[in-house]
């Protein structure tokens, strides 16, 4: 699916209020992206008890949804080109609702995983549909700031999911305890996604279709009507420009990515950026942080409150990244973030690895777990949030910025799809392996592995990543 944009027509005056409204409606998909992937955070321990699951089974319950996300990302483009951007959003919204309802009413771990995969497909689709739609309806002068709504919506969704989970656990006295209408708190955590999914679905029925899609289907009059509401001025002339661009456009082809060692060097750099973004362990924070804090001696309520604060830190740092990425540049932000993550992850590995241990019995098996002192707990919380700060102002948003602009026009769509798929696959690998690594080797070892990748990412960016700040896409 192409992500070409519409610019202001000569003599036109963009209707910014209208554009912000429809871009925000599309960005609700990003909010659900963040909410759906993080809502399981507060429910992990309760699910483990509910289904008597092993650490590996818990890891699969959390991470198999990410394979659904890879599928959703792949099918979203062709689906949006066939049915339209807004209809595809409607389908994604319905999938979000179905997943939220089913995840709160599972009969066992298998059907719970099925409902989470359904939600994963919606997440993958939303990760493609929202930025594409926003790019295609935004006037050029405002495109960057409007496109940033997607990343801001994602981290806001993460925070709201963590906050809702904490609030529900507080009200019920624990995620595994009965809350309302005879249902446990962890079920309500998943159901809390339903209102946002419903609003997103309804909003998708009322926002205008992308003018680029309308032109591709020969619906020029409808496209001109949308453009007149968005950019004003000579909308008919802009329709002609879009049609001329589409006539010259190169269809995405994975064969174009072939080069030495299987792929072109620039494609390998994009794939490795995606892998490093996940191998530093960031999604362990948003999927397992409550379970981690409980494992080292925090109460369930304190653990979930700590995770909620981390989600708020993520929002603040994303705002910082948005303000700096066009001033400081992409490469400096990545290097600063890598250094910060290497230091803070190293601190976490040291604290968790050096803490006193106790033996506990869980799922009928004796396990040795670290118990942090009050001082160690403070250090861990500070390091944890500084780590999220370093990631959020660098590798979180900047990798997506680079992937959108580092490839030339001929290979951009195919290379971006491949890099995004690598990212979902790496996310799946890290999320699946964390529980067994933490149980069998310890939290110190897990964070030691993430420290190593953060350290290696410094040299990777320094040697191979080129600065793209201020360069036109046609220069790539």
Q: Judging by beta carbons within 10 Å of its beta carbon (0-12, 13-18, 19+), is residue 357 exposed, middle or buried?
A: exposed
pLDDT, mean of residues 340-354? 91
Q: Kindly give, in sequence order, each residue whose CB lies less than 8 Å from that of residue 235, ignoring residues fewer than 6 positions away.
A: 9, 12, 223, 224, 225, 227, 228
Has residue 189 got a pLDDT over 50?
yes
Has residue 96 got a pLDDT over 90?
yes
pLDDT, mean of residues 409-438? 78
Has residue 8 got a pLDDT over 50?
no
Is 255 within 8 Å of 267 (Cβ atoms)?
Answer: no
- Nearest residue to 307 via CA among 282, 326, 288, 332: 288
Q: Quote the percentage of the chain above a pLDDT of 70.
A: 82
Has residue 11 got a pLDDT over 60?
no
Report pLDDT for 458. 96
Banded model confidence at residue 459, pLDDT cuts 50, 70, 90: very high
Q: Quote the percentage of the chain above a pLDDT of 90.
A: 19
Report pLDDT for 222. 80
For residues 188 and 100, what is the distance between their CA atoms, to the nearest angstrom?
A: 9
* Helix (H), strand (E) at residue 317: helix 300-324
- Which DSSP symbol is given to 178? E
Has residue 107 got a pLDDT over 50?
yes
Report pLDDT for 4. 43
- Judged by average pLDDT, the poorest of 27-31, 65-69, 339-343 is 65-69
Banded model confidence at residue 252, pLDDT cuts 50, 70, 90: low
Report the C-alpha dihedral over residues 455, 459, 460, 465, rounded to 10 degrees.
130
Q: Does 413 or 105 have the greater pLDDT score?
A: 105
User: Which tokens in the block code for residue 167?
Assistant: 């609030």
- DSSP, collapsed to helix, strand or coil, labels residue 299 as coil
Banded model confidence at residue 290, pLDDT cuts 50, 70, 90: low
């Amino acid at each position: 699916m192409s992500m070409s944009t519409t610019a202001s027509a000569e003599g036109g005056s963009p209707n910014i209020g209208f554009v912000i409204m429809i871009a925000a409606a599309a960005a609700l998909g990003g909010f659900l992206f963040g909410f759906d992937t993080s809502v399981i955070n507060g429910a992990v321990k309760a699910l483990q008890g509910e289904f008597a699951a092993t650490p590996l089974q818990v890891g699969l319950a959390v991470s198999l949804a990410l394979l659904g996300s890879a599928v959703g990302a792949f099918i979203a483009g062709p689906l949006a080109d066939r049915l339209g951007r807004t209809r595809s959003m409607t389908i994604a919204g319905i999938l979000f609702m179905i997943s939220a309802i089913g995840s709160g009413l599972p009969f066992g771990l298998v059907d719970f995983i099925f409902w989470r995969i359904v939600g994963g497909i919606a997440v993958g689709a939303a990760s493609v549909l929202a930025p594409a739609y926003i790019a295609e309806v935004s006037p050029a002068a405002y495109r960057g700031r409007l496109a940033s709504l997607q990343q801001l919506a994602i981290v806001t969704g993460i925070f709201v999911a963590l906050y809702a989970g904490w609030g529900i656990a507080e009200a019920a006295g624990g995620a595994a305890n009965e809350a309302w209408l005879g249902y446990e708190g962890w079920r309500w955590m998943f159901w809390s996604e339903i209102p946002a999914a419903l609003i997103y679905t309804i909003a998708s029925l009322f926002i205008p279709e992308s003018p680029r899609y309308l032109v591709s289907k020969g619906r020029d009059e409808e496209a001109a009507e949308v453009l007149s509401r968005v950019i004003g001025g000579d909308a008919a002339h802009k329709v002609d420009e879009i049609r001329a661009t589409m006539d010259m456009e190169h269809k995405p082809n994975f064969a174009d990515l072939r080069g030495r060692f299987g792929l072109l060097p620039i494609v390998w750099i994009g794939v490795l950026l995606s892998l490093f973004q996940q191998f530093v362990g960031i999604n362990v924070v948003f999927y397992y942080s409550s379970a981690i804090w409980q494992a080292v001696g925090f109460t369930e309520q304190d653990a979930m409150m700590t995770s909620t604060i981390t989600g708020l830190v993520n929002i603040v740092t994303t705002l910082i990244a948005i303000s700096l990425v066009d001033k400081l540049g992409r490469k400096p932000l990545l290097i600063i973030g890598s250094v910060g993550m290497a230091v803070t992850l190293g601190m976490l590995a040291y604290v968790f690895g050096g803490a006193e241990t106790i033996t506990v019995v869980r799922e009928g098996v004796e396990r040795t777990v670290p118990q942090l002192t009050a001082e160690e707990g403070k250090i861990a919380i500070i390091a944890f949030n500084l780590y999220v700060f370093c990631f959020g102002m660098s590798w979180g948003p900047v990798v997506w910025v680079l992937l959108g602009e580092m490839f030339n026009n001929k290979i951009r769509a195919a290379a971006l799809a491949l890099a995004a798929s690598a990212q979902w696959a790496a996310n799946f690998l890290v999320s699946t392996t964390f529980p067994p690594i933490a149980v069998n080797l310890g939290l110190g070892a897990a964070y030691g592995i993430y420290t190593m990748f953060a350290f290696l990412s410094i040299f990777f960016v320094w040697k191979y990543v080129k600065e793209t700040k201020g360069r036109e896409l046609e220069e790539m």
